[in-house]
Amino acid sequence: MVADEGRLSRLATGAEREGWVHALTALTQYRVRVRRATPDPAEYARYNLPVPDLSHHFALDEVIERDLTVPVLGDRREEWVRPVVLSTDLGAFALDRSFGWFTGEVPWAGDRV
């Protein structure tokens, strides 16, 4: 079990790309079978790139159970969806967690940007 930030990916064939293979919904709990993602060193060498550390990257193999209720994960979800706003002398900036940055509008040269 990994209790850290990571990335879960699913490879799909051309036919599978027409619709979502597993039909997963954001912020929903699932029990899944995954495997560690393993980079192909030859593919990175082809582009003269270093082989990345994928120790927290996983490939989704199967959805075993849907709509679980695990209290500790529910607590983490509540924290995740709680709005985070920073107020400064320029204005308010809201955290966009999907990108990991803050967004907002500020006055600049007579315009709002």
Dihedral (Cα; 25, 23, 12, 33), 10-degree rounding? 80
Q: Provide the pLDDT for residue 19.
A: 63
pLDDT in tens, 70-93: 898 889 889 888 999 999 988 899
Residues 2-8 have a mean pLDDT of: 75
Cα→Cα distances 2→35, 61, 79, 90, Å: 12, 16, 19, 40
Residue 84 exposure: Cα atoms within 13 Å on the Cβ side: 12
Confidence at residue 1, expressed as pLDDT on a 0 to 100 scale: 62
What is the per-residue pLDDT for 9? 82
Mean model confidence pLDDT for the chain: 85
| Cβ neighbours of residue 29 closer than 8 Å, sequence gap 6 or more | 67, 68, 69, 70, 73, 74, 77
- Residues 34-44 have pLDDT tens digits of 888 888 889 88
